Amino acid sequence: MNDTVIKIQAYNEFEAGMAKLEEVSNFLPDATTKEGYEKSKRIALDIGKVKSKLEKVRVSEKSYWLEGGRQVQTQAKEIEVRLINLIEPHKEAYKAVDNAEKLKKQKRQDEATAKIEAIAIMIETAEHLDSVGVSELMEQCEQFDTESGLWELTNDAIACKLRVSKKLLDMYLTKQQNEANEKELAELRAKQAIQDQKDHDARIAKQASEQAEKDKQQAVDDKEKADQAKIEADNRLIEQKKKSKIDAENALVESKRLADEASENARLLEVKRQDDEREADRVQSEKLESNKKHVGVICKATKESLMQECELDEATAKKVTKAIAKKLIANLIVQY
């Protein structure tokens, strides 16, 4: 923060009159009196005029100083541009040297980094190799030059080479031991496979011998069963023939019995049919006789009703009654 105070000359007039104004206004009269009232009012008006004049000066001075500030900024910028034009060619010249040195240094670092990475990646490569391949990588790592062309990364390269060499040696010893173990295990497995094959062949031979003996015994058992089955079949055939003969004789007897029974049943049915027919004829005759008498009674009553109600003579009433009985008169039925 800048504590410098700039004195404005235009305000000196006001500073000079402040002591007199303070002296005049320092006493506060009793405004309740006419004299005191007029005095306070006059003081306020006089000082108000000074205040208005001060405001006009302030506005004028502020405008002046604002324009001065703008001029300070503008002129400084113009000088700055001229200075920059003087600086830039020299600045570009030494920056070009700096950039070239940076590029050269970056190239050296990239090349050195690539060499270090080429050493470091040997560990990953060795994971997929056998002990012979790892041994070859160890020779390559040992021949790697860490004395030149590595610049700032020389120490990093030396440390990386030592670390990778140690790791490759550990991997070589481990893989060599694993390969020896695998070789030994493969030999044991080969011997075990030969023994397993011998055992397998022996089991097969034993099983074949046992199976042949079982088949032989089975053939004997099967022949005995076949002979026994033939004897049983012959016996069943004999029994079947005997049973068939008996069944035929029984069937003949049963057939004759059934035929005699059917003949007797037919005779009895015919006798019953004839008796039923005679009984039906008798019942029909009785029914016809009874019906004839009933019809006669109805016809007689009808005739008498015609003679009485319609005043017909007997011959005419009789003819009408016969016509009704024979259903010759439309829409007229006699209920017997």
Residue for token pair 């990778």: 164
- Final residue before a domain boundary, out of 82, 99, 116: 99
Residue 265 belongs to a domain:
no
Residue 276 belongs to a domain:
no
Residue 25 belongs to a domain:
yes
φ, ψ dihedrals at 31, nearest 5°: -75, -10
Predicted confidence (pLDDT) per residue in 169-185, tens digit:
888 889 889 888 988 89
Residue 264 belongs to a domain:
no
Full domain range(s) for residue 74: 9-99
- Final residue before a domain boundary, out of 99, 115, 142: 99
Of all residues in the chain, the percent with pLDDT exceeding 90 is: 1
Residue 17 belongs to a domain:
yes
Token representation of residue 263: 């003949």
Q: Which amino acid is at 331?
A: N
- Final residue before a domain boundary, out of 81, 99, 117: 99
Predicted confidence (pLDDT) per residue in 34-74, tens digit:
888 888 888 888 888 888 988 998 998 888 888 888 887 88
Residue 123 belongs to a domain:
no
Q: DSSP state, 2? A: -
pLDDT at 146: 67
pLDDT at 145: 67
pLDDT at 112: 66
Contact yes or no for 126/86 (Cβ under 8 A): no
Contact yes or no for 333/327 (Cβ under 8 A): yes
pTM above 0.75, yes or no: no
Token representation of residue 110: 């990239």
Residue 109 belongs to a domain:
no
pLDDT at 1: 54
- What's the helix, strand, coil split of the chain in %, to 5? 90, 0, 10
pLDDT at 131: 85
**d(Cα 230, Cα 242) in Å, to the nearest integer?**
18
Token representation of residue 169: 């040696």
Residue 188 belongs to a domain:
no
Into how many domains does the chain fold?
2
pLDDT under 50 in the chain at which residues?
A: none
